[in-house]
Amino acid sequence: MEKHITSAISQAFGKFANEEFATPIQNFINSSYVSLMGLDMSEFHAPQTYSSLNALFTRKLREDRVFSLDSDDFISPCDSLISECGVLESEYALQIKGMRYNSDELLGEHFSSEEKAIVHDGTFINFYLSPRDYHRYHMPTNLKVLRAVHIPGKFYPVNIPSLKKRVNLFVENERVVLLCETQNQKRFYIVLVSALNVGVMQVAFEPRIKTDADALQSSSYSYENLYCNKGDDFGCFEMGSTIVVLAQKDMLELDVKAGENVKYAQTIAKLVI
């Protein structure tokens, strides 16, 4: 697979965002971005404390948010808009109302037909992170990571207008797929989807994954004892993008709907026992 023009654009923007300019210039860039995008910085350090635009993008909370410790409560992994959610029709989920994507194609070639079929007729949630959102992502429940797969691809925008006009947007873009297992042995996928200017998707526990790089082939990493706790910070997007959760049938009872804005740490579903 050849590199797409959207990759070159994202890489160029990444170089600018990572540049540490002289303090007065950097302060102007950061403050202008905060003002232009309408960022709420009340939970974060002041804009002038960040050494680059990327440091501002990937900012951490000053204090972690409080979330439910009930093991049955499934929390939002990020600050986002729920662009779509609901029940898959066999292997099909909604990209946005009226436009479907195939979950088997989204998950890619490194998962067997049986592994992909786990989520057929299951539950899906699409989380869209805008450029103004907090860009870090967290584990939605106590879980075990079984596999991580990096699938190189394109970097089309994933905002709402783009979702409405480009078929198979999630399937075409670069992504990282995590196969996870809950404490009661239910399985689900967390899919990190890239977007224009979001070449880098950090995965804290797997430094071998290099997104927006020169890799043209997908890669897979398996784990035996990789356990994570609810709320664990496991990486970030460098700008806004999308997270897709695909859950096994009868695993989740959703407490959110399409069009709703959610925050990391907010309970959005119940794990079915």
> Is 218 a member of any domain?
yes
> Is 261 a member of any domain?
yes
> Is 65 a member of any domain?
no
Q: Label residue 267 by pLDDT band (50, 70, 90).
A: very high
Top-confidence residue, 168 or 151: 151
Same domain, 146 and 209: yes
Same domain, 248 and 116: yes
> Is 62 a member of any domain?
no
Domain count of the fold of the chain: 2
Query: Is residue 199 within 8 Å of residue 14, measured between CB atoms?
Result: yes
> Is 67 a member of any domain?
no
**Active site residue ranges:** 79, 138, 241
Top-confidence residue, 5 or 168: 168
Same domain, 144 and 193: yes
Q: Label residue 8 by pLDDT band (50, 70, 90).
A: very low
> Is 63 a member of any domain?
no
Same domain, 85 and 44: no
Residue 35: give the domain boundaries: 5-57
Residue 66 has pLDDT above 90, yes or no: yes
Global pTM reads 0.88
Residues contacting 114, CB < 8 A, separation 6+: none
> Is 66 a member of any domain?
no
> Is 45 a member of any domain?
yes
Question: What is the model's pLDDT at position 138?
Answer: 98
Q: Label residue 18 by pLDDT band (50, 70, 90).
A: confident
Q: Label residue 254 by pLDDT band (50, 70, 90).
A: very high
Same domain, 143 and 212: yes
Look at 39-43, 79-83, 98-102, 133-137 and tell me which has the smallest mean pLDDT: 98-102
